[in-house]
Amino acid sequence: MTTEKDSLNVLWLQSGGCGGCSMSLLCADTPDFHGNLRAAGIELLWHPSLSLANGAELLQLLNDILAGHTRLDALCVEGAMLRGPAGTGRFHLLAGTGLPMIDWVRRLAPLARDVVAIGSCAAWGGVSAGGSNPTDACGLQYEDDRVGGLLGADFRSSSGLPVINVAGCPTHPDWVLDTLMALAQDRLGGSQLDALGRPRSYADQLVHHGCTRNEYYEFKASATRPSDLGCMMEHMGCKGTQVHADCNIHLWNGEGSCTRGGYACIACTEPGFQEPGHPFVLTPKVAGIPIGLPTDMPKAWFVALASLSKSATPKRVKLNATSDHLVVKPALRKTRLS
């Protein structure tokens, strides 16, 4: 059993964003959310939506952390850091304190054993940093794909790690819990993070892996409408062959993903996804060839393979690709050699 003394003390702050990652967290596959945390050795010191503590109690907790009376193991921050106006951070004050959230994060981050960015807003700036970015929003240690952010490129927590970026919009509840559990068991070191600081437990996969539309992808049998069954890469803007996440392996609520729901992968775990430079539901092309090709496949090979695949597409696959239901069922074949 894990005792309170050796539990992972987690403080969760919410900054500029929609709160969607907290909503996602509540969809974790467990009937007893708090019990699941306790069983994993995680002590949730405070969360803006899940804790009963009021403002005065939170302020006391924050002061206890600053004074060294309460140990802070994981500082989790959801939402972008709002640095405006003019670097003051006063677009977002932590209620009851009179101080900008960015000041609290700057004070608390060096005291935490680990700092965790929850969601793409906290990781890269995300949707909160889109457009003209009037709030001067950024991530904890990144501005899109540029290292820096609020804490700076050189920041390292007391564990020696940079900010751990559990990216996604919203992020998968199990990615959050798996990361916290790994921290609680001291199993998350630098080698378990990818080049962008994302846990490899999900970032070493592609959304394409496990996609139920992969047969259509292999034959380049493409959907032309949102309701079609075919591959959405060629026409519908899907970036699943390029995006690091295990959405089609580690399913949401045990059964779902964007592509299984008929919507293209928009690369929400990647920096800058909020402004791709084209409509989310359209695939940009040059000379009829999609710009976004699989991450590790030469363009010439893809073009040659696509041409060969399309010429060999079974009628069943071709007809089903542009339908919202199976028009032609797989043929019956004997599978024995004799």
Mean pLDDT (whole number) for 82-93 = 97
Q: Is the domain of 109 the same as that of 42?
A: yes
Per-residue confidence (pLDDT) for residue 289, from 0 to 100 = 80
Write out the two tokens for 126: 């995300």
Share of the chain above pLDDT 70, in %: 99
Which H, E and C letters describe 82-128, residue by residue? ECCCCCCCCCCEECCCCEEHHHHHHHHHHHCCEEEEECHHHHHCHHH
CATH number for the domain harbouring residue 266:
4.10.480.10
Whether 281 is in a domain gets the answer yes
Based on the fold, state whether residues 63 and 46 are members of the same structural domain. yes
Residues 152 and 233 placed together within one structural domain of the fold: no
Domain boundary among 154, 178, 202: 202
Residues 145, 66 share a domain? yes
**Averaged pLDDT of the chain:** 93
Residues 255 and 179 in one domain: no
Could you report the per-residue pLDDT of 183-203, keeping only the tens digit for each? 999 999 999 999 999 999 999
pTM for the predicted model, two decimal places: 0.93
How many Cβ atoms are within 10 Å of 151's Cβ, its own excluded? 24
Q: How confident is the model at residue 29 (pLDDT cuts 50, 70, 90)?
A: confident
112-146 tens-digit pLDDT: 999 999 999 999 999 999 999 999 999 999 999 99
Look at residue 54 in the predicted model and tell me its pLDDT.
84
301: pLDDT strictly greater than 70: yes
SS3 11: strand
Own/partner contacts of 133-136, CB < 8 Å, gap of 24 or more, are 134/84, 135/16, 135/80, 135/82, 135/83, 135/84, 135/91, 135/92, 136/82, 136/83, 136/84, 136/85, 136/87
Q: CATH number of the domain that 16 lies in? A: 3.40.50.700
- As given in the structure block, the two tokens for residue 332 are 């019956």
pLDDT band at 291 (very low <50, low <70, confident <90, very high): confident
- At 4, the pLDDT band (50, 70, 90 cuts) reads very low
Q: For 275-290, how does the pLDDT look when each residue is reduced to its tens digit (9 = 90+)? A: 999 999 999 988 888 8
Q: Is residue 111 part of a domain?
A: yes
Encoded amino acid at 333, one letter: R
Candidate ranges 51-55, 222-226, 251-255, 295-299; pick with highest mean pLDDT: 222-226
pLDDT at site 2: 41
In a domain, 254, yes or no: yes
Residue 164 has what pLDDT? 98
Q: Are residues 58 and 181 in the same domain?
A: yes
% of the chain surpassing 90 pLDDT: 80
Q: Which amino acid makes up residue 15?
A: S
Mean pLDDT value across residues 294-305:
81
Q: Kindly state the average pLDDT of the residues 13-30.
A: 91
Band of residue 27 on the pLDDT scale cut at 50, 70, 90: confident
Same domain (yes/no): 195, 223: no
Contacts of 213 (CB under 8 A, 6+ apart): 229, 230, 231, 232, 259
Of the candidate ranges 25-29, 110-114, 287-291, the one whose mean pLDDT is the lowest: 287-291
Give how many domains the chain has, as a whole number. Answer: 2
> Please, which pLDDT band fits residue 1 given cuts at 50, 70 and 90?
very low
- Kind plus residue range of the DSSP H or E element containing 278: none
pLDDT-derived band at 5 (thresholds 50, 70, 90) equals low
Kindly state whether residue 315 falls inside one of the protein's structural domains. Answer: yes
State the angle between helix axes of 55-67 and 101-108 in degrees (0 to 180), rounded to the nearest 10.
40
| pLDDT classification of 207: cutoffs 50, 70, 90 | very high
Looking at the structure, tell me whether residues 23 and 168 fall in a common domain: yes
Domain match, 249 and 186 both:
no
Chosen domain end from 202, 228, 255: 202
pLDDT per residue over 139-176, tens digit each?
999 999 999 999 999 999 999 999 999 999 999 999 99
**211 band by pLDDT with thresholds 50, 70 and 90:** very high
Burial class (CB in 10 A: 0-12, 13-18, 19+), 31: exposed
Domain assignment of residue 97, given as a range: 8-202
